[in-house]
Structure 1
């Protein structure tokens, strides 16, 4: 089993000006000065993600044609899993996070000062010359640490300030300790929920209604995992299951988010709205028919922003509970 260090070029939604090292697993550093940068505060900013891992190829793995999967392919897949996991965790626990470029072509218009507004056919991608991918150890940098924010306060606020540099919650290391201490079954369950959560954020610009349903489903997925071993009692007369999905959903959020009467009502309303969206196509205002001038769907805005905050707090508290850490108050 070989110990390996790698340095990956990543893009983030905020400029990385400091460093953050999480134990012997990964480290975030600012990009070197020669890396291309966008001339805007709000853009995709380059940084370096250094990871350490141990890997042994599995000789029993086979391609669809039954030939052995090459060790370099297995290593590449393993590295992709590591990066995906880190990106997914930051998407849930931090408002400064990694972003992905799609290897697609699209019409673009240059935004530099003085450029003609002529459309150009381009590929969306990022790379930098002379980057050393293979490293022997974590870079020992003397730059200052990445700024930390109070976790509970930033979660309640629900966003990062426009133009601010890359920052992290002050409990991030404890949260990551809790996550990495989970057994594989709980890890996989959490990653499924976290993936739904992150997809909900991405989808919001396309469809607020589907985004909202994804947020609710991210919680529902973890609730289903928690109760998967329970025997479901059925009615003797009609064989219908004698349990309420809404009740379990609500009970989970009461425990890991807040048990205030106002929020309990919101949990029930959210689950009901999710069902209407998925089963009856009851979209939020403006999706299937454009809204009128100066009209806005404030109900959708408050429901989506509210469920995002609730998800983030509940996921954090569920993970911290597994590690016997104090909870984040909603």
Structure 2
């Protein structure tokens, strides 16, 4: 991707021993998404996404938080060296829950970067709510914000064999050029998503951690955008910068013998990375330079986009903020995709049995 170039009944979980103290575990986790899941998507033998069963509560709106199932498979071996704060051994069930949380976080993070259809985080907090079922009622109620289905079977013995059709896969170039979802559209993914996942899961652990840091910054930028366009923009730029710094961690940077300034500037590394993994057009190279400069001004001088510290008049419109924010988000996605696809081409760890 480059700018230039009928569900099986749930069963009780029965661990399958695959080695000393190792369990092969399947879990069915209720998730919420920003688009309705009407098909299934299975990635190798790691996870699959399925529509929510008919008895699950559904929201009567197209644009809302929609339930679905995320089924995951993993091998687990308890670590007897892990300790609780009081230095007692960490129970196996806590270690399993921690491991599952890491797996689901990883999947959510990857979807957040590479797909406009993504998982929604639900935090168990309380808030005042007004029912939308009866338009005549405006009585406020204090409620917990959450989603729970009592009958759901969390422990399963294998992936559910569902007859539903596959989730739509959209041409990746068209997907990213569009810049978002159509209102009311179902859950979909780019057609290169499977290959992107192949590449990510073939990385060594240090490379995975580095990419997840960048991907987390990217997803945080999206979340922050509703609060501050300026800080969101800075996070998008930092998501790229974080990966660049990791890639160049072993590169020795020479300093000028006269002034001791580094010869290889941060802006230059930023520009060269995006020139290689996004586009080398003159117009976009100017945008890369401008973006890094704006990021520095935001973080070091508080130079926010217009209308953020002093609300803009109705007749005003901060087009610079809109175009720079939407532009850097698209560039980040394309650069991350190309960087991972390059890893796929040269990875000795990649096999068809991932």
Query: TM-score normalized by structure 2?
Result: 0.90
Shift of 1:199: 0.2
Separation in structure 2 between the aligned mates of residue 285 and residue 270 of structure 1, nearest angstrom = 16
Separation in structure 2 between the aligned mates of residue 168 and residue 140 of structure 1, nearest angstrom = 21
Q: Name 2:145's counterpart in structure 1.
A: 124
1:269 to 275, 290, 307: 290
Whether 1:85 aligns to 2:110 is no
Shift of 1:294: 2.7
2:251 to 211, 220, 230: 230
Whether 1:258 aligns to 2:275 is no
Shift of 1:114: 2.6
Q: Name 1:283's counterpart in structure 2.
A: 304
Whether 1:6 aligns to 2:27 is yes
- The 1:37–1:177 alpha-carbon spacing in structure 2 relative to 1, beyond 3 Å, is same
1:211 to 221, 229, 232: 232
C-alpha distance after superposition, 1:234-287 (max 9, x if no partner): 233443322210000000000000000000000000000000000000111111
Q: Name 2:165's counterpart in structure 1.
A: 144
Separation in structure 1 between the aligned mates of residue 180 and residue 288 of structure 2, nearest angstrom = 21
Separation in structure 2 between the aligned mates of residue 74 and residue 237 of structure 1, nearest angstrom = 55
Whether 1:309 aligns to 2:330 is yes
Residue segments in structure 2 that go unaligned for 5+ positions in a row: 1-21, 347-354
Whether 1:63 aligns to 2:63 is no
Q: SS of the counterpart of 1:121?
A: strand
Alignment of 1:93-112 (within 5 A): 93-112=114-133
Separation in structure 2 between the aligned mates of residue 83 and residue 181 of structure 1, nearest angstrom = 18
Q: Name 1:323's counterpart in structure 2.
A: 344
Q: Name 1:49's counterpart in structure 2.
A: 70
Separation in structure 2 between the aligned mates of residue 33 and residue 88 of structure 1, nearest angstrom = 27
Q: Name 1:245's counterpart in structure 2.
A: 266
Q: Name 2:215's counterpart in structure 1.
A: 194
Q: SS of the counterpart of 1:120?
A: strand
Equivalences, count: 325
2:174 to 135, 138, 153: 153
Q: SS of the counterpart of 2:345?
A: coil
Separation in structure 2 between the aligned mates of residue 72 and residue 26 of structure 1, nearest angstrom = 21
Separation in structure 1 between the aligned mates of residue 130 and residue 54 of structure 2, nearest angstrom = 26
Shift of 1:112: 2.5
Greater relative contact order (Cα < 8 A, sep 6+): 2
Residue segments in structure 1 that go unaligned for 5+ positions in a row: 326-330
Q: SS of the counterpart of 1:200?
A: helix
Shift of 1:107: 1.6
Separation in structure 2 between the aligned mates of residue 261 and residue 237 of structure 1, nearest angstrom = 32
C-alpha distance after superposition, 1:223-243 (max 9, x if no partner): 001111001212334433222
Separation in structure 2 between the aligned mates of residue 276 and residue 176 of structure 1, nearest angstrom = 35
Query: TM-score normalized by structure 1?
Result: 0.97
Separation in structure 2 between the aligned mates of residue 302 and residue 109 of structure 1, nearest angstrom = 36
Shift of 1:68: 1.1
Q: Name 1:167's counterpart in structure 2.
A: 188
Separation in structure 1 between the aligned mates of residue 317 and residue 124 of structure 2, nearest angstrom = 34
Alignment of 1:17-28 (within 5 A): 17-28=38-49
Alignment of 1:171-190 (within 5 A): 171-190=192-211
